[in-house]
């Protein structure tokens, strides 16, 4: 009897360098297309783009009237600006995930990622669950992090989808720091989690963490991958954007927790890995055989309680 062929998925993380406030969507999409063509040359079937790929990271600026930032949001996806990316990806037979600011018909604002299959069909939208930062202008900060002003917390949780020959999930930036993010998807058998991020190096509430940004980034994604037996694709919008230095260090992480591809620049850069989705089972069916070893009755506090008991 011959062994079944492993399910291989060649995946690219399309790191972006900075996007200026005045850059048009068309200019950004040109850069996305360039990365897509590099991905095609590398044999990718799936490309992950960062969080809020289409614009500068606008939550760094306060507006009294939130509608003052409406031009940073997309009301449709695809739309006229992104249609060339959707068309070219379909022509090349490459799927992708793309983060953007979503403004819904009924006025809700989400930090969203769309997942598109190789045939151009939309698999799903994921809306960011953990919204970091603050709601109001805080003049003591060097720059603002007003995600909590400009985005609602999603109440749709962390679903996974059968796509790309495996089981795929998504998370966005701050979500990657929370173990629950990975575990909720791990309990649904996730095999690859796509995570876009914009992480300023300077963390105003506690600058002693600044030097650890790169370490923490890899720490949380590597732990999430290993403890759930899943691939993790972490993709940054990095570099100095409108005077704010953001972490690059995009990485593709195997179910072993090992980094198998890592960006070396803080600009537009594609990194690629041949992901063996069947490698996940080596962890899911042994050390992390959830059905055999987990003790959910011991973990009830995790869903019953939000903050630390005093």
Instruction: Give dist(CA 39, CA 53) in Å, integer.
Output: 17
Taking CA atoms, 153 is separated from 76, 106, 194, in Å, by: 20, 16, 19
Print the binding letters for residues 108-147 with ligand CDT: x by CB under 6 A, - otherwise: ------------------------xx-----------x--
Active-site residue (options: 44, 74, 147, 173): 173
Both tokens of residue 143? 């720059």
Comparison of 25 and 177: residue with beta carbon closer to ligand CDT: 177
**Cα(200)–Cα(207) distance, integer angstroms:** 11
Identity of the residue, 198 or 228, whose beta carbon is nearer to ligand CDT in the bound complex:
198
Query: Residues in contact with ligand CDT, total (CB under 6 A)?
Result: 10
Indicate whether 198 belongs to the interface with ligand CDT (CB under 6 A).
Answer: yes
DSSP code at position 204: T
Question: Shortest Cβ distance from residue 144 to ligand CDT (Å)?
Answer: 10
Can 128 be counted among the known catalytic residues? yes
C-alpha distances out from residue 61 to 177, 197, 242, 288, Å: 24, 18, 11, 43
* Other Cβ atoms closer than 10 A to 209: 13
Interacting residues of 96 by C-beta distance below 8 A, sequence separation 6+: 36, 46, 47, 48, 49, 85, 89, 115, 116
Closer Cβ to ligand CDT, 88 or 138, answer by number: 138
Question: What is the C-alpha separation between 58 and 128, in angstroms, rounded?
Answer: 16
Report if residue 197 touches ligand CDT, rule: CB under 6 A: yes
**Looking at beta carbons only, is 181 or 199 nearer to ligand CDT?**
199
- x/- contact string, 27-66, with ligand CDT (CB under 6 A)? ------------------------x---------------
51 is annotated as an active-site residue: yes
Residues forming the site for ligand CDT (CB under 6 A): 51, 132-133, 145, 173-174, 177, 197-199
């Amino acid at each position: 009897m011959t062994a079944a062929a492993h399910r291989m998925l060649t995946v690219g993380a399309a790191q972006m360098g900075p996007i200026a406030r005045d850059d048009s969507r068309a200019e950004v999409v040109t850069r996305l297309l360039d990365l897509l063509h590099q991905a095609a040359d590398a044999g990718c079937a799936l490309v992950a783009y960062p969080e809020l790929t289409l614009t500068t990271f606008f939550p760094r600026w306060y507006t009294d009237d939130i509608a003052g930032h409406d031009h940073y949001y997309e009301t449709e996806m695809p739309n006229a600006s992104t249609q060339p990316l959707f068309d070219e990806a379909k022509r090349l037979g490459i799927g992708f995930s793309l983060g953007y600011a979503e403004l819904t018909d009924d006025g809700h604002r989400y930090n969203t990622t769309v997942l598109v299959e190789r045939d151009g069909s939309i698999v799903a939208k994921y809306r960011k669950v953990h919204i970091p930062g603050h709601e109001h202008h805080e003049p003591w900060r060097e720059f603002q992090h007003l995600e909590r002003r400009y985005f609602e917390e999603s109440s749709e949780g962390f679903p996974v989808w059968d796509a790309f020959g495996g089981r795929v999930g998504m998370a966005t930036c701050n979500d990657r720091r929370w173990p629950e993010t990975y575990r909720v998807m791990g309990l649904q058998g996730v095999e690859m989690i796509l995570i876009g991020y914009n992480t300023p190096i300077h963390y105003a509430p506690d600058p002693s963490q600044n030097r650890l940004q790169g370490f923490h980034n890899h720490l949380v994604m590597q732990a999430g991958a290993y403890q759930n037996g899943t691939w993790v694709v972490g993709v940054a919008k990095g570099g100095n954007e409108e005077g704010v230095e953001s972490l690059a260090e995009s990485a593709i992480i195997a179910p072993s927790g090992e980094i198998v591809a890592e960006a070396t620049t803080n600009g537009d850069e594609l990194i690629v890995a041949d992901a063996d989705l069947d490698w996940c089972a080596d962890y899911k069916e042994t050390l992390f055989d959830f059905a055999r070893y987990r003790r959910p009755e011991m973990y009830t506090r995790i869903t019953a309680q939000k903050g630390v008991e005093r």
